[in-house]
Structure 1
Amino acid sequence: MANIWAVPLALSNFNIVVAFLGGFISLFGLVSYLLKENYYLSEALISLLIGVAFGPHGANFIRPDAYTECTTSGVTDVECADKRLGDITLNFSRLVLGVQLVLAGIQLPSKYLWREHKPLGLLLGPGMAFMWIATSLLVWGFAGTPSFLHALAVGACVTPTDPVLSAVIVKGKFADHNIPKELQNLIVAESGANDGLGYPFLFFALYLIKFVGSGATSGGGGEAMGLWFTYTWAYTILLSIIYGAVVGVLAKELLRWAVKRNYVDRESFLVSAISLALFVLGTCGLIGTDDVLACFIAGNAFTWDDWFRLETLDDSLQPTVDMLLNVTIFLWYGAYIPWTEFRHNTVIPIYRLIPLGIAVLLVRRLPWIWGMHRWIHQITGTHQALFVGFFGPIGVSAVFYLFITLEFIEKFMSDEDGNPRSDVKELGATVRIVVWFLVVCSVVVHGLSIPLGKIGYLAPRTISRVLTENSNGGNVYYGTAITTMSRWFSVAKDSEGQPVNNPAVLGSVIRTNNDGTLDPARPRSTPPSDANTPRIVWQDLEPIRRVRTDGSRRSNPLP
């Protein structure tokens, strides 16, 4: 019998994880602006490192293996735990991708996919094909896969660019000051569309391995190509595009109809994009089509006329959900990644794995974007071409295709006991180790590129200015940047020549011109072109919201 006077401690996994997650998000939130807008560090990199530090290889607060207790008969605990952890990671990645891609589709201007189909066609057609072949050749050379088809399967997993990590260069102060809006939209559209278009590249390799590989017992090239065209292209890709477009348009029209009749409150209106993502994700999963591509198409169709995008332009619910999902998924990745297998495995030694990661980041995308940039009007010069070519991150989408590959091997290339066919025994391990390692490389390299580049750019100037100050008796002139490891302050003066102690207005940092006068940074508010766009009047808000921007009063929620 338990002692009733004992302290009722309940150190369960749920309590530990919830407490840790809440504590980390709270602490991260206290310095989030400093880290993201001054240091230019991505929340993905920070969350991944925290996941490693507090996962099984660190403090062991996050214990993925403990969340998958298994009692299935005839299956070892290790095999059962691996299967359940794989299912959790796959579905978690699907959830994050689905929500992220609906939000990415909503970010794009009206009819963007139709108006910019030519540059997008180059990036999604030849661009993805070159990335696939280049990565596959590198994997074949460094990993020494028994067949080039195996390398094609690995290369297909990391061909799509990740929309979660791409947000580092299309959001925030760095993007506002350095990347034109047209180029930001192109990066968002490409990373959203090519996530779902990784299926044809992956299943081209998997079908050939099954029906043409050395261990194939039936079928042939004809059956492989028949499945590829009918199932992959027609059922998976084409159906998901049609389904996503239809659901997105219907959701938009139903929402507009409800808003006109004042049936919708503001909270439900804002959350409609998230609910759309969940609905498309679940229904596409039920019928086995491409839920990732369908989510992106649904999001873009949902705001095809720009109505929903403009109405939610200044609301923070979508970025908040976006941040929570990003932090949580990369915390999980940091705890789940098979770190020990990078050094101890039978498919590729670490001294080849590291050069492979470097080569993939340099060759996978950069040469092809640079070669095609003359035909992409959003990329206006060599510097932008090199920038866009380098920032093609590998992240959540690669993990998604990794588990799709493992699932295909288990279902269609293994016997009833789960033993893989003789020619694909090492394929699962190769895909798992190489893809996870490339994800880590991409998160670290792309997450540190901007802050390190900023330091490298400012360091020579800072040293020169410090030397100049010393040679002038230590005098510091207005407008001189004083660099520290944490942030770059500016000694500025206003238009009348008076020093300004705290050059910030409403959270927007005021920058200085070359002559030292103040130049406000671009405010994060409604763009001027959208300033006069009528907004919905919500019945539960103050009467002042019934006044239009031009001073006239609204008599109807919609213009």
Structure 2
Amino acid sequence: MPTLAVTNFNIVLTVLGGWISLFGLVSYLLKENFYLSEALISLLAGVVVSPPAANLIRPLEYTDGSEADVDVVTLYFSRLVLGVQLVLAGVQLPSRYLRKEWRPLSILLGPIMVAMWLATSLLVWGLVPNISFLHSLAVGACVTPTDPVLSNVIVKGRFADHNVPRELQQIIIAESGANDGLGYPFLFFALYLIQYLGDPAEQGGARAAMGMWFGETWGYTILLSVVYGAVVGWIAKELLHWAEERKFVDRESFLVFAISLALFIVGTCGMIGSDDVLACFIAGNVFTWDDWFRLETLDDSLQPTVDMLLNVSIFMWYGVVCPWSSFAHNDIIPIYRLIALGILVLLFRRLPSVFAVHKFIPQIEEVRQAIFVGFFGPVGVSAIFYLYIAVDFLARLDVDGHPREDVKNLAETIKIVVWFLAVCSIVVHGLSIPLGKLGFYLPRTLSRGPSSADRESAAPFRLGSRVATLVTHRLPFRRSAEPSPGPASSPGPSSASGRDIYRIGGSVIPMRTEDTGENGKPVFHPPPREGLGGLADDESPTRPPEAAGRTIRFPDELPSRPQTSGPIHHD
């Protein structure tokens, strides 16, 4: 007789699949109309199914009650998400972006990161009782990098397309991708000093600590990862070019290549003990150094789909494993001090330093943009990643199986403070845009003087009317390839009111003009598209030209221009 099998595996699949399906039903409404991030919504869903609430997801039962094993799962899950996200972030950037924009990036990754580290550390030192400044440096280092996952709320979607200049989006993507891997020097500067200057300290003192920091952290971890990521990204690009020229690669494998590259780099860097996070970002940028892969996959939805699945899953897991009860009940820091620390870190961790140097960053053209970039420096997946890197390092300092006296509370302090700051950032940055629109119509404070048509398209809209308009105008076009009577040219499909029609995701659907080829069959020429990167200041927002000699074509794809023959020229 059949029996119920209410196992943990079945429950996890039910909850995760059910939540992603339910969220998908209203995802466009929440993300594009109300500007709510999937990270915040998934975090709240994780709280609902966590052990203190519905108790549907029980992480301790998956690891035989071992809290340390749950921490290891969280660390590896965070590594995986960061690796995939950073390869995709590198692929999104235009050709040779790191070389072209090295000056503003060096400011963001140098003085601003140092200022963020010191500002956070000083706040932790002042508000956490009985903590030394050296220990506060370790806590501050965990939340120094900005998070590439949470940054998506201001660089993707309808809000970003209409209100954040393309150059500003790109510099935010590049900074959040590069500074994730550069969190290692800040963290291990403090950890090595704790190891060699604590009580009881290991032999060598500050000299040995700095030797380890320069040799192992900068030499082996950072420089090796940069070289390794660049070499792997270049070899992968050349191999994909070679396979595509000979028609060896099919559509599915071509589109998933960047994601499989991320998995390979995370695995190999993990085996050699280098910085897999930084290597993934460098590899992604070198992989599309000639812009070929980026342009080939510009309209593909696979990468955004994988991105969404990882975001929803990781933040739901964070909602489950976050030590919620420790915020109010701990022997480290009272809850009122923790709340004050969260507020002050959000205000002073990044905003003053960005505001002070924004005139040296060409992408930040005015004060309001400086305030915007300074405030939106979220703390998220990267902070949790470095949190468990620090906890693992401190566990190796045990003496005879017991924590060293000077660091016995440091791991718990880092857990409580970093988790609380991450939750504060997810909630505050996830609600800032919708609350800002309710309060003072935030998009007008960020744009660089959009045209009247842009302002109209940026206005809030109802999903039902857009879908109805879309169906009404696209069906006649699909029924016949004959040119419809009417004006000779039209800027794009529009409703009776003259407003643009939007596809799912918020971008405008362009009108396709038609022509007749030599054989009498219709030839389709897509007009320029909006919102794509790599433009000069005096260019209109049109689609970048396709890579020279594009040859890859798939059966379900209408050619945008006649097929060309000849060799492919690429870097």
In the alignment, structure 1 residue 58 sits paired with structure 2 residue 53: yes
TM-score using structure 1 length: 0.85
Q: Distance in 2 between matches of 1:342 and 1:173?
A: 36
Measured after TM superposition, the shift of residue 363 of structure 1 is 0.3
Q: Distance in 2 between matches of 1:531 and 1:482?
A: 30
Query: After the TM superposition, which residues 5-16 of structure 1 pair with which residues of structure 2 at under 5 Å, given as runs?
Result: 5=1, 7-16=2-11
1:149 corresponds, among 134, 147, 150, to 134
Question: Which residue identity does 2:10 align to in structure 1?
Answer: N
Measured after TM superposition, the shift of residue 533 of structure 1 is 4.5
Decide whether the 8 Å contact of 2:532 with 2:544 is kept in 1: no
Question: Which residue identity does 2:555 align to in structure 1?
Answer: L
Question: Which residue identity does 2:360 align to in structure 1?
Answer: W
Question: Which residue identity does 2:370 align to in structure 1?
Answer: A
Q: Distance in 2 between matches of 1:501 and 1:553?
A: 35
Query: After the TM superposition, which residues 317-336 of structure 1 pair with which residues of structure 2 at under 5 Å, given as runs?
Result: 317-336=302-321
Query: After the TM superposition, which residues 156-555 of structure 1 pair with which residues of structure 2 at under 5 Å, given as runs?
Result: 156-411=141-396, 413-417=397-401, 419-458=402-441, 500=497, 504-507=501-504, 508=506, 523=530, 528-533=542-547, 536-538=550-552, 541-542=555-556, 545=558, 547=559, 549-550=560-561, 552-555=562-565
Flag the 1:454–1:337 CA change in 2: closer, same or farther, 3 A. same
Decide whether the 8 Å contact of 1:119 with 1:375 is kept in 2: yes
Q: Distance in 2 between matches of 1:44 and 1:106?
A: 22
Q: Distance in 2 between matches of 1:245 and 1:362?
A: 36
Flag the 1:40–1:290 CA change in 2: closer, same or farther, 3 A. same
Flag the 1:485–1:438 CA change in 2: closer, same or farther, 3 A. farther
Q: Distance in 1 between matches of 2:136 and 2:441?
A: 41
Partner SS for 2:145:
coil
Measured after TM superposition, the shift of residue 319 of structure 1 is 0.5
* Residue matched to 2:15: 20
Q: Distance in 2 between matches of 1:416 and 1:249?
A: 47
Q: Distance in 2 between matches of 1:441 and 1:32?
A: 23
Instruction: Calculate percent identity across the aligned residue pairs.
Output: 62
Decide whether the 8 Å contact of 1:200 with 1:233 is kept in 2: yes
Decide whether the 8 Å contact of 2:42 with 2:315 is kept in 1: yes
Q: Distance in 1 between matches of 2:459 and 2:420?
A: 38
Decide whether the 8 Å contact of 2:291 with 2:547 is kept in 1: no
1:78-135 alpha-carbon deviations (Å, 9 max, x no partner): xxx1111011000000000000000000000111001100100001000100000000
1:20-43 alpha-carbon deviations (Å, 9 max, x no partner): 111111111111110000000000
Flag the 1:120–1:145 CA change in 2: closer, same or farther, 3 A. farther
Question: Which residue identity does 2:299 align to in structure 1?
Answer: D
In the alignment, structure 1 residue 39 sits paired with structure 2 residue 34: yes
Question: Which residue identity does 1:136 align to in structure 2?
Answer: S
Partner SS for 1:504:
coil
Partner SS for 2:110:
helix
Flag the 1:557–1:505 CA change in 2: closer, same or farther, 3 A. farther
Measured after TM superposition, the shift of residue 237 of structure 1 is 0.4
Flag the 1:141–1:310 CA change in 2: closer, same or farther, 3 A. same
Q: Distance in 2 between matches of 1:309 and 1:63?
A: 40
Q: Distance in 1 between matches of 2:127 and 2:121?
A: 10
Q: Distance in 2 between matches of 1:258 and 1:538?
A: 10
Measured after TM superposition, the shift of residue 555 of structure 1 is 4.0
* Residue matched to 1:137: 122
Measured after TM superposition, the shift of residue 415 of structure 1 is 2.1
Decide whether the 8 Å contact of 1:38 with 1:487 is kept in 2: no
Q: Distance in 1 between matches of 2:101 and 2:461?
A: 42
Flag the 1:509–1:309 CA change in 2: closer, same or farther, 3 A. closer
Measured after TM superposition, the shift of residue 554 of structure 1 is 3.4
Flag the 1:252–1:350 CA change in 2: closer, same or farther, 3 A. same
Q: Distance in 2 between matches of 1:326 and 1:159?
A: 21
Gaps of 5+ in 2: 445-455, 470-489, 510-527, 534-540
* Residue matched to 1:73: none
TM-score using structure 2 length: 0.84
Flag the 1:187–1:215 CA change in 2: closer, same or farther, 3 A. same
Question: Which residue identity does 2:317 align to in structure 1?
Answer: W
Flag the 1:488–1:201 CA change in 2: closer, same or farther, 3 A. farther
Q: Distance in 2 between matches of 1:324 and 1:297?
A: 23
Q: Distance in 1 between matches of 2:242 and 2:507?
A: 41
Q: Distance in 1 between matches of 2:225 and 2:217?
A: 11
Question: Which residue identity does 1:357 align to in structure 2?
Answer: G
Q: Distance in 1 between matches of 2:532 and 2:459?
A: 29
Partner SS for 1:393:
coil
Q: Distance in 2 between matches of 1:95 and 1:386?
A: 32
Q: Distance in 1 between matches of 2:339 and 2:188?
A: 27
1:127-179 alpha-carbon deviations (Å, 9 max, x no partner): 10000000000000000343110000000000000000001100000001111
Partner SS for 1:58:
coil
Measured after TM superposition, the shift of residue 62 of structure 1 is 1.1
Question: Which residue identity does 1:449 align to in structure 2?
Answer: S
Q: Distance in 2 between matches of 1:448 and 1:180?
A: 21
Q: Distance in 1 between matches of 2:567 and 2:29?
A: 39
Measured after TM superposition, the shift of residue 504 of structure 1 is 3.2
Question: Which residue identity does 1:454 align to in structure 2?
Answer: K
Measured after TM superposition, the shift of residue 216 of structure 1 is 1.3
Flag the 1:94–1:451 CA change in 2: closer, same or farther, 3 A. same
Partner SS for 1:528:
coil
Question: Which residue identity does 1:153 align to in structure 2?
Answer: A
1:460-518 alpha-carbon deviations (Å, 9 max, x no partner): x9xxxxxxxxxxxxxxxxx9x998999999xx9x99xx96398635455789xxxxxxx
* Residue matched to 2:81: 96
Flag the 1:529–1:217 CA change in 2: closer, same or farther, 3 A. closer
Partner SS for 1:500:
coil
Flag the 1:128–1:505 CA change in 2: closer, same or farther, 3 A. closer
Gaps of 5+ in 1: 70-76, 462-478, 512-520
Partner SS for 1:193:
helix
Flag the 1:363–1:120 CA change in 2: closer, same or farther, 3 A. same
Question: Which residue identity does 2:58 align to in structure 1?
Answer: R
* Residue range with higher mean Cα deviation, 499-508 or 242-251: 499-508
* Residue matched to 1:472: none
* Residue matched to 2:94: 109
Supply the RMSD in Å over aligned alpha carbons: 2.9
Flag the 1:141–1:539 CA change in 2: closer, same or farther, 3 A. closer
In the alignment, structure 1 residue 67 sits paired with structure 2 residue 77: no
